Amino acid sequence: MKGFVFEYKDQNDFNKKEKSVKKYNMLAYKKLLFEYYESLKNGVFLGKLVSKNSAENSKHYELTIPTDDMFVKVHGEMVLHYTVYENKNIVLLETITPEKLLLEGHKSELKTYKGVMISKDNEEKDMFKVNLLNSLNRQ
């Protein structure tokens, strides 16, 4: 079987998010680069099948990238969104979420609070979440 080729919905935007993942979560980046991308190139599609489009012969997937539990509780799951066009042997890499946080991390240095990335836009809210979760974990 012929391998799949990566294409991007917006390569510049995707690369910014990918670099932000590399900078702030190296383990997730390594898993993405050396495990998930290799599987996708070989035709092993990981993650949850979200939708099918029979007209375009495409399938849309969401792959959860493993991250720290505290990060997940504060910012949500880190998810790779991609679409597979099986008849063209193309994997269209669309985005990595949480988009806003990753793009913000690419533009400027993000602070950390008790080991968790803190958004500059929602600094107080994120710090409150971290403190709340830490107090709940102590009980």
Number of structural domains the chain divides into: 1
* pLDDT, tens digit (0-9, with 9 covering 90-100), for 35-77: 999 999 999 999 999 999 998 999 999 999 999 888 888 888 9
> Residue 74's domain is classified under what CATH number?
3.30.2310
- The pTM of the full predicted model, rounded to 2 decimals, is 0.86
Burial class (CB in 10 A: 0-12, 13-18, 19+), 139: exposed
Residue range(s) defining the domain that contains residue 26? 5-107
Is residue 133 in a domain?
A: no
* pLDDT, tens digit (0-9, with 9 covering 90-100), for 82-133: 999 999 999 999 999 998 888 887 888 888 888 888 888 888 888 898 889 8
Is residue 121 in a domain?
A: no
